[in-house]
Amino acid sequence: MDSTQLVNLAGRLAASEISAAEFLRLAAVEVGQPEIATVDLERAGRCGFPEVIYGPGKTAEAITQIAAQLLANEQRVLVTRVEADKGAELLRQFPAGRYNELGRTLRIDLSQPPAETAGQVAIITAGTSDLPVAEEARETLAWMNVRATMVHDVGVAGPHRLPERLAEFSEADAIVVVAGMEGALPSVVGGYVPCPVFAVPTSVGYGASLGGLSALLTMLNSCASNVAVVNIDAGFKAGYLAGLVATRRRK
């Protein structure tokens, strides 16, 4: 943290926006504390949103240090793929954080979040087993300040269910469709809407689903022109892409 950032942080302490303990944590003034990561604090200016912390392989201490740097620079925090025990430790460090156990995400908003959401994205799941990936996408959109509409359990095995709920997503700026098994749902959704559809294959399914590979190949071969595909179980990536579409469209 440079001198300007430290002065700004001290100003927040003087204005009672943060506690003394939080000031010390954000300033990372513990003696001998090494800098674990080189945080890209300029990414929000270049790309519109701050750096996201990928949880696996990082200790709670490492995530704490990275998150503190982001918060000290007035940047919202999103940590993905955080297991429950690590999430509990992080909440002790950041009591204002929100841990989503199903989506395995930790989100820490600023003390003064934006007043209005920017855009609308629908998240559609084929089945209840796809919910963890859908929740990762939803938390990503919340971090981006984009309103999310959830439409669950409308897979192709019950073809009447999707059109019955069309009104809930027909006006969305973008749509995230999360499906395992044979992965057919994104093509069906794409045939109903005039916006980009980001398809997420999940690792849900029996042996021949090959851990989501079958769904991935189905989605890549979609005949719907507005369907694009992300990696297996990549709820964050689909949510982020849909959020970019929504925020750019509203601007």
Tens digits of residue pLDDT in 120-177 = 999 999 999 999 999 999 999 999 999 999 999 999 989 899 999 999 999 999 999 9
Are 40 and 24 in contact, with CB atoms under 8 Å apart? no
- Whether residue 245 sits in one domain with residue 167: yes
Mean pLDDT of 233-245: 97
Q: How confident is the model at residue 28 (pLDDT cuts 50, 70, 90)?
A: low
- Whether residue 34 sits in one domain with residue 59: yes
Residue 114 lies in a domain: no
16, HSE (Cβ side, Cα atoms, 13 Å):
0
- Whether residue 139 sits in one domain with residue 242: yes
Q: How confident is the model at residue 203 (pLDDT cuts 50, 70, 90)?
A: very high
Mean pLDDT of 30-46: 72
At which residue do the structure tokens 């071969």 appear?
221
Return the pLDDT at 3: 60
Q: Where residue 212 sits, what CATH number does that domain have?
A: 3.40.50.1970
- Whether residue 154 sits in one domain with residue 83: no
Q: Does the pLDDT at position 228 exceed 80?
A: yes
Are 233 and 133 in contact, with CB atoms under 8 Å apart? yes
- Whether residue 101 sits in one domain with residue 138: no
* 3-state secondary structure (DSSP) of residue 125: strand
Angstrom distance (rounded) from CA 123 to CA 186: 11
β-strand 174-179 against 197-201: which pairing, if any? parallel
Residue 113 lies in a domain: no
- The 10s digit of each residue's pLDDT in 88-131 is 999 998 998 999 999 999 999 886 666 677 899 999 999 999 99
Q: Does the pLDDT at position 232 exceed 90?
A: yes
- Whether residue 176 sits in one domain with residue 134: yes
Residue 238 lies in a domain: yes
- Whether residue 134 sits in one domain with residue 233: yes
Q: Does the pLDDT at position 73 exceed 90?
A: no
Residue 115 lies in a domain: no
* Residue where one domain finishes, among candidates 64, 84, 108: 108
Return the pLDDT at 31: 42
At which residue do the structure tokens 């971090």 appear?
143
Residue 98 lies in a domain: yes
Return the pLDDT at 18: 72
* Residue where one domain finishes, among candidates 108, 137, 165: 108
- Whether residue 51 sits in one domain with residue 82: yes
- Whether residue 102 sits in one domain with residue 23: yes
Are 189 and 162 in contact, with CB atoms under 8 Å apart? yes
Residue 233 lies in a domain: yes
Residue 141 lies in a domain: yes
Across the chain, what does the average pLDDT equal? 89
Host domain of residue 163: 120-250
Q: Which residue has the higher pLDDT, 12 or 190?
A: 190
Distance of CA 229 to the CA centre of its chain: 16
- Whether residue 246 sits in one domain with residue 131: yes
What total number of domains does the chain contain? 2
> Which residues, at least 6 apart from 121, have a Cβ–Cβ distance to it below 8 Å?
141, 146, 147, 148, 149, 172, 173, 174, 175, 176, 239, 242, 243, 245, 246
Nearest to 60 by CA among 34, 40, 88, 38: 88
- Whether residue 99 sits in one domain with residue 125: no
- Whether residue 100 sits in one domain with residue 165: no
